[in-house]
Amino acid sequence: MTTTRRHILAAPALLPVLAALGAREAAAQASPVRGGTLIYLEQQTYTNLYPPAGGFYPNGGVLNQITDKLTYQNPQTLEIEPWIAESWTVNADATEYVFRLRPGVTFSDGTPLDAEAVARNFDTYGLGNRELRHPVSEVITNYQRSEVIDPLTVRFLFHRPSPGFLQGTSVIGSGLVSPRTLALPFDQLGDATKIIGSGPFVVARQVLGRELVLNARRDYAWGPKNHPHQGRALLDSIRIIVSGEDSVRIGALLAGQAHVIRQIQAYDEERVRSRGFQIFAPSTRGVNNSIVFRPDNPLVADIRVRQALRFATNTQEIVDTLFSPNYPRATSIIASTAQGYVNLADRLIYDPRRAVELLEEAGWTLGPRGVRQKDGQELVLTAYESLPQPRNKETLQLVAQQWARIGVRLNVLAGDSGSRVVDNLDPAKTPVSPAMVGRADPDVIRSQYHPLTRNALLQTGGVSQRVRSFHDARLNDLLDAIASEPNREKRLALVGDVQRYILDQAYVIPIFEEPQVFAAAPRVRGLGFEAVGRPSFYGTWLAAR
Amino acid sequence: MRRYLLQRLGQALLVLLAAYTVAFVLLQALPGDAVLIKFLGSEMGLTADQIAELRIAYGADAPVWEQYLHTLGRFLAGEFGYSIRAGVPVASLLAENIRPTLVLAGLALAAASLLAVALAVLSQLGFGWVRAVVRSMPPFFVAVPVFWLGIMLIQVFSFQLGLISVIAPEPWEELVLPVLTLAVPISAPLAQLLIRNLDAILNEPFVAVARAKGATHAWVLWRHAARNALPPTLTMAGVLFGELLGGAVVTETVFGLGGLGGLTQQAVANQDVAVLQAIVVLSAAAFVAISLAMDLLLPLIDPRLATRPAGAA
Amino acid sequence: MSGANATAGFAPPRTLVLPPVGLLLAWTVIALVLSWAVVPGLFAWHDPLQGVAGEQLLPPSLEHPLGTDGLGRDMLARVVYGARESLLGALLAVGVGLTLGTALGLLAGARGGIADAAVMRLVDTLLAIPSLLLSLSVIILLGFGSINAAIAVGFVSVAHFARLSRAEVLRVRRTEYVEAAFGSGGRFLAVLWRHVLPNALTSVLALAALQFGSAILALSTLGFLGYGAPPPTPEWGLLIAEGRDFLATAWWLSCAPGVVVLLVVLSAERISRSLGARRT
């Protein structure tokens, strides 16, 4: 039963894959054409291109074209495959990794991409550089040091087991850059021309905040080993142009002024598709788009209140009203395409009657204004909308409408970044908050919930000074175990335990599995996406009109 | 005259320092700061210790007066620092954004005054209903939101008719729609002013004289409208610079153009203080220079103004 | 813009250009919008804040004359209920600029000397800081909300009101009857209140009327930049800004509030013109 259900639920997620397959079939009929300039419209400009900052989508869209990674995570199977590293070995407790590099790879400034350079990259990403203000990468944990064994062999040593490291070498945040780039202070890495990678494209010129032109590297011959395309990129160049208005991006695409655009809202998908254009919606495979509770706030400290609000949230209604089949309803705290996913849909049912019972049980009774109260305090919660998440303002408003039906008020704030950051650290001000993060490794759950990392639940011991007492040692132990369990089976089992635990504690209301939605002109072929939905133009080409 | 100039120069410097200080105080009062926003935002997922370390490295927790003197000193030395958000020197950010703003603002101002003169002349010609329509144009222009106008112009001229490309345009077509978008709201107050002036001038005796000498009605109007347009346009240019910056942010966003408006908006949102201080100093300097020039130039262009109190805008 | 004020005394045959029908219409529009603000329930039969899931983005129909928005809320209700917020916001914005600005201008113009110099440098400083930066920081400082956005919009116009009113005060002070009033031993404040202020105020009020319309638009620009009132407040400017993403799929969402704003601004302008004509 669970499996069928899972398949039904996963079916919409397959649609974009099918569309992509369709494109690939068409591609098979006509042989790829080399040359041409592709125009890609971004919603926002890139910021700092220090590779670990590649989580920001506009940054990832640039870095994915100009840098290579040690390993390649196959976006279909999520298996780790050879790229710059031809082969690797990991010791039994995942504290020692040895990578054997492909010979003959160079950065675009001519310096060789050898063991020395790889070691330098990961020393920076794993340890940071205080002097140059390079921060540590989120995806690398327990890093100790590197050893260059010979020019093409490098060993990495860890304090404690770091089973997520292998996948960590495949993400955008671990893009390899020239030692010359790493010698620059962090404050200069927003200049794309200074980011020297070994990737299929090279930065040709930039107009800050407006446009970036990438040219294909003619001598590129080291694409991922199992990638369908090999050799240099098919396109001659890519123009990445910033166009912030949704209507302008879509209009430009449909009018033939652009080839690929990022960020299509659900209500525009039909219009784009009906004109024969392609929609791609790769999943971000991480923690679902959710509402998290901050149990440090007394209003949501009682598990019954949190459960009640979860029962009162009609996620199906949200998905139906605001989104499309590309945004599957959440069935766990992580996406169904994520590793270690367990279908927990039976714990995520909509039952407003049960919600009311729980609130009554917890002592919250309906007040005169239609808002529940207890000891003179009203059940009024506040959340900031999250700008990068699709239609988050509408989502929260819809949630507010649903909660209002059981007598709970949710105020949705639209704040400036400063207030949002400061208030989001204070459980008293933001008892609930929207949250999501994408990464195709079980480590992503730890990233999201552990107090030492993103600390979504706001536990003590994290960045926030405002948390008084909330701390869940059992949760943190589970999360730590995921990050350091070398056995794959055991690790995935732990991921299941965490999903169940977080839902049992009702810390989170998962809403939908967040995709990144792109649209492309009919003549665009071979558009690829890495495991969490950043575009890859390596095998892309433009068919004749 | 020299004393007056020196006095004005002193005032200008005072205004510059005051603008810098007011902006500094304002920015300090905002909740959070650039380092928090940059590194605590979900972009990088850093730990508490790493953030604390970065805060020290950036001097984000230094006493306010120390930061004030530090940045002021840097400015006097001609150093603008780095943008924490963008990760590039502030100087290069400014360099890339000043030119498009100046070109856009300059062309828009020119187009606006042309439009205003045309409206003013039309308002005196033609039939009853034409005049009525023309006279209701300025308030109509003011009542249309700039972003809406911009999006509509793009939809119609670029996407529907395919006349002009807004993405990767040729140099000549790049500015057509943005200039039009920006010119429409600016032309409204100018046109209103001109229409009123023309209404008044047409009652004056020299018009009758000109006509008696054989000048056509249209010619008289055009000449006087054009001549009368100059002083208020110039006066407005001085005051409008700051406003153009604000008006331009919308145009820049809609058309995806670079410029100081968008830069300001981004910098405010991310509290990129180094960038903002540079923008404030820059625009204050421009404002001061323009108003100084206006005070000195306007009496030369329009002798009537020589008798008016300086500073009246 | 003192050139305009100098010639404002001439009364061109404007009333002939626009027939009184226009004025009548203008008053009708204002009256209608005011009654929306006072008793919105009489004009809209849906809840402006609670939408019906599944009825999102419906085209105009008998049930929803202006269609529904992305959350299934009736657009007519949102426009009607938005009147209160929008008119209050615009009034407040003009009020802030008018009172603060006129007070400063009056002080500078009437006192002269050091007070004048100080006030005018302050005004210069306000003008020298980009107004975008000023208004966004004021909103961030005060917190997001329609009232605070209105204050920010008003704050930015303080400098313009101050400059204009100072120039007007200087002009009026030089007129013979004010000199005479001072000469006949009138107390400074009394003369200021009785003679200077009323005469200087005419053109300041004309600016205020003009500012009313632009305040609504400024609020909508702030909404466009993401600094508008928090959801689910219906506010015209915000409705236009939010509806722009649907221009291709549901154009009425931004056009309906846009047309309302257009009519209100045109009407306000028409009425202020007729009032001005009567005054002179």
DSSP A66-128: H---SEEE-TTT--EEESSEEEEEE-TTS-EEEEEEPTT-B-TTS-B--HHHHHHHHHHHHH-
User: Considering the domain boundaries, does residue B292 fall inside one?
Assistant: yes
What is the pLDDT at residue A213? 97
What is the pLDDT at residue A407? 95
Distances (CA, A) of A348 to A250, A263, A320, A445: 35, 28, 16, 19
- Asked which of B50, B76, B102 is the last residue of a domain, the reply is B76
Indicate if B6 and B129 belong to the same structural domain.
no
Residue ranges in chain B whose pLDDT is less than 50? 305-313
- Residue C270 neighbours by CB under 8 Å, 6+ apart: B139, C18, C22, C23, C26
User: Considering the domain boundaries, does residue B276 fall inside one?
Assistant: no
A501: number of Cβ within 10 Å: 16
What is the chain A residue with the closest CA to C47? A401
C167/B193 touch (CB, cutoff 8 Å), yes or no: no
Q: Which of 57-96 (B) contact C at CB < 8 A?
A: none
- Asked which of B76, B101, B120 is the last residue of a domain, the reply is B76
Q: List the single best residue of B33, B44, B181 to mutate versus A (max A Cβ within 10 A).
A: B44
Copy the structure tokens of residue A176.
Answer: 């390899």
Angle between helices C20-38 and C75-111 (to 10 degrees): 110
User: One digit per residue, pLDDT tens: chain A, 545 residues?
Assistant: 333 333 333 333 334 444 444 444 444 456 899 999 999 999 989 989 999 988 888 999 999 999 999 999 999 999 999 999 999 999 999 999 999 999 999 999 999 999 999 999 999 999 999 889 898 998 898 999 999 999 999 999 999 999 999 999 999 999 999 999 999 999 899 999 999 999 999 999 999 888 999 999 999 999 999 999 999 999 999 999 999 889 999 999 999 999 999 999 999 999 999 999 999 999 989 999 999 999 999 999 999 999 999 999 999 999 999 999 999 999 999 999 998 999 999 999 999 999 999 999 999 999 988 999 999 999 999 999 988 899 999 999 999 999 999 999 999 988 788 888 889 889 999 999 999 888 888 888 988 999 888 889 999 988 788 899 999 999 999 999 998 899 999 999 999 999 999 999 999 999 999 999 999 999 999 999 998 899 999 999 999 87
Copy the structure tokens of residue B231.
Answer: 């002083």
- Distance (Å, rounded) from C-alpha A292 to C-alpha A299? 14
Residue with tokens 């071979």: A526
User: Considering the domain boundaries, does residue B311 fall inside one?
Assistant: no
Angle between helices B273-301 and B2-29 (to 10 degrees): 150
Copy the structure tokens of residue A95.
Answer: 């504290």
Indicate if B30 and B107 belong to the same structural domain.
no
Q: B43, B75, B71, B42: which is closest to B59 by C-alpha?
A: B71
ipTM (interface pTM) = 0.84
C129/B132 touch (CB, cutoff 8 Å), yes or no: no
- Distance (Å, rounded) from C-alpha A218 to C-alpha A236? 9
Residue B230 in contact with partner chain C when CB distance is under 8 A: no
Q: List the single best residue of B11, B36, B147, B240 to mutate versus C (max C Cβ within 10 A).
A: B147
Q: B30-41: string of b/e by CB count within 10 Å (b at 16+)? A: bbbbbbbbbbbb
A271/C249 touch (CB, cutoff 8 Å), yes or no: yes
Please name the amino acid found at residue B12.
A
Handedness of CA C136, C140, C144, C146 (dihedral sign): negative
A252/B162 touch (CB, cutoff 8 Å), yes or no: no
Indicate if B28 and B161 belong to the same structural domain.
no
What is the pLDDT at residue A1? 33
- End-to-end CA distance of chain C, in Å? 19
- Distance (Å, rounded) from C-alpha B149 to C-alpha B157? 12
What is the pLDDT at residue A333? 95
C244/A247 touch (CB, cutoff 8 Å), yes or no: yes
C230/A414 touch (CB, cutoff 8 Å), yes or no: yes
Residue C21 in contact with partner chain B when CB distance is under 8 A: no
Indicate if B95 and B129 belong to the same structural domain.
yes
- End-to-end CA distance of chain A, in Å? 47
User: Considering the domain boundaries, does residue B81 fall inside one?
Assistant: no
Q: B135-167: string of b/e by CB count within 10 Å (b at 16+)? A: bbbbbbbbbbbbbbbbbbbbbebbbeeeebbbb
Q: Which of 40-99 (C) contact B at CB < 8 A?
A: none
Residue B277 in contact with residue B71, Cβ under 8 Å?
Answer: yes
Indicate if B198 and B95 belong to the same structural domain.
yes
The domain that holds B199 is classified in CATH as 1.10.3720.10
User: Considering the domain boundaries, does residue B216 fall inside one?
Assistant: yes
Copy the structure tokens of residue A298.
Answer: 């007394």
Question: C-chain residues within 8 Å CB-CB of B272?
Answer: none
C131/B264 touch (CB, cutoff 8 Å), yes or no: no
Residue A480 in contact with partner chain C when CB distance is under 8 A: no
Copy the structure tokens of residue C103.
Answer: 């007070």
Residue A415 in contact with partner chain C when CB distance is under 8 A: yes
Helix (H, G, I), strand (E, B) or coil at A9: helix
Handedness of CA A331, A335, A338, A339 (dihedral sign): negative
C102 Cα to chain B: minimum distance (Å):
14
Q: Mean of the pLDDT values across residues C117-124?
A: 89
Domain range for B200 is 90-271+286-306
Question: B-chain residues within 8 Å CB-CB of C2?
Answer: 308, 312-313
B87/A187 touch (CB, cutoff 8 Å), yes or no: yes
Residue A269 in contact with partner chain C when CB distance is under 8 A: no
Indicate if B63 and B173 belong to the same structural domain.
no
Indicate if B203 and B71 belong to the same structural domain.
no
Residue A54 in contact with residue A173, Cβ under 8 Å?
Answer: yes
Handedness of CA B266, B272, B273, B274 (dihedral sign): negative
User: Considering the domain boundaries, does residue B218 fall inside one?
Assistant: yes
- Asked which of B76, B98, B124 is the last residue of a domain, the reply is B76
* Three-state helix/strand/coil letters over chain B: CHHHHHHHHHHHHHHHHHHHHHHHHHHHHCCCCHHHHHHHCCCCCCCHHHHHHHHHHHCCCCCHHHHHHHHHHHHHCCCCCECCCCCCEHHHHHHHHHHHHHHHHHHHHHHHHHHHHHHHHHHHCCCHHHHHHHHHHHHHHHCCCHHHHHHHHHHHHHHHCCCCCCCCCCHHHHCHHHHHHHHHHHHHHHHHHHHHHHHHHCCCHHHHHHHHCCCCHHHHHHHHHHHHHHHHHHHHHHHHHHHHHHHHHHHHHHHCCCCHHHHHHHHHHCCCHHHHHHHHHHHHHHHHHHHHHHHHHHHHHCHHHHHCCCCCC
Residue C2 has pLDDT above 70, yes or no: no
Query: Which residues is A157 bridged to in the sheet?
Result: A96, A145
Q: Ramachandran region of residue B88, left (φ > 0), alpha (ψ -120 to 50) or beta? A: beta
User: Considering the domain boundaries, does residue B200 fall inside one?
Assistant: yes
B31/A53 touch (CB, cutoff 8 Å), yes or no: no
What is the pLDDT at residue A25? 47
Question: C-chain residues within 8 Å CB-CB of A275?
Answer: none
User: Phi/psi at A82 (nearest 5 deg)?
Assistant: -65, 145
User: Phi/psi at C8 (nearest 5 deg)?
Assistant: -65, -20
- Distance (Å, rounded) from C-alpha C121 to C-alpha B15? 6
Q: Measure CB to CB from residue C249 to each of A268, A411, A415 and give the nearest one.
A: A268
A346 Cα to chain B: minimum distance (Å):
30
Question: A-chain residues within 8 Å CB-CB of B93?
Answer: 208-209
Tell me the pTM. 0.88
E-state strands within A360-416: 365-366, 372-374, 377-378, 380-384, 409-413
Q: For residue A211, what is the enclosing H or E element?
A: strand A211-216
A250/C248 touch (CB, cutoff 8 Å), yes or no: yes
Copy the structure tokens of residue C65.
Answer: 């004359």
Residue A51 in contact with residue A523, Cβ under 8 Å?
Answer: no
Indicate if B187 and B297 belong to the same structural domain.
yes
Please name the amino acid found at residue C174.
R
Q: How many domains does chain B have?
A: 2
Indicate if B115 and B43 belong to the same structural domain.
no
B96/A128 touch (CB, cutoff 8 Å), yes or no: no
Residue A48 in contact with partner chain B when CB distance is under 8 A: yes
Indicate if B110 and B192 belong to the same structural domain.
yes
What is the pLDDT at residue B226? 66
Pairing state of beta strands A143-150 and A96-101? unpaired
- Residue A473 neighbours by CB under 8 Å, 6+ apart: none
B93 Cα to chain C: minimum distance (Å):
17
A31: number of Cβ within 10 Å: 8
Which chains touch C (3+ CB pairs under 8 A)?
A, B
Q: List the single best residue of A397, A411, A413, A420 to mutate versus C (max C Cβ within 10 A).
A: A397
Q: Which of 137-166 (C) contact B at CB < 8 A?
A: 137, 140-141, 160, 163-164, 166
Indicate if B114 and B203 belong to the same structural domain.
yes
Copy the structure tokens of residue A83.
Answer: 């790229």
Question: A-chain residues within 8 Å CB-CB of C49?
Answer: 401
User: Considering the domain boundaries, does residue B84 fall inside one?
Assistant: no
What is the pLDDT at residue B138? 85
Indicate if B69 and B218 belong to the same structural domain.
no
- Distance (Å, rounded) from C-alpha C197 to C-alpha C173? 10
Q: Can you list the domains of chain C with their CATH numbers?
A: 75-279 (1.10.3720.10)
Please compute Rg for chain A using Cα positions: 24
Question: A-chain residues within 8 Å CB-CB of C244?
Answer: 245, 247
